[in-house]
Structure 1
Amino acid sequence: MSAALLSFARMLLEQADIMQKHFGVGNKRVPKFCVSCQYYSFAVNAFVEVVKECDADRYGFILRETQTGSVSRSMN
């Protein structure tokens, strides 16, 4: 076997271990609520109100403030 093939196989095994740890049985995955918006205080206030109404221990909340074009792209 060539060194390149062995290196590639080692990399694949390492990635498989990482995926197993992330997606494996018994790992608790926290659902995420993500919002992308331009910076407006009313949008931030609305996001804060949503977080207050939800069980913050059960969800990961992300507010991404960005430009208009980035908001449109992040919805895909």
Structure 2
Amino acid sequence: MKGQEMPKFVPPEVEAARRSGDKNALSAMGKAGARQRAINEDLAKTLAEERWNEELKWFEENAKRTHMDTHPIDD
């Protein structure tokens, strides 16, 4: 099947709405899908920011430890 696209999965409720010609149901499903994609994108962005902040915090703490190891405070 080289060069051919895999068929996309269509949920049964969407296929049923298409066959029945219920445009309101299709529209509602499309809007719900768009909302879910927006939620997923927002969640992914939030998780990426949290991960970045955790890594930045680790690097800052590691830099402080390294600095204190190489430049100890004389008492």
- TM-score under structure 2 normalisation? 0.33
Higher normalized strand content (fraction of residues): 1
Larger RCO: Structure 1 or Structure 2 (Cα < 8 Å, ≥ 6 residues apart)? 1
Higher normalized helix content (fraction of residues): 2
* Structure having the higher Rg: 2
- TM-score under structure 1 normalisation? 0.33
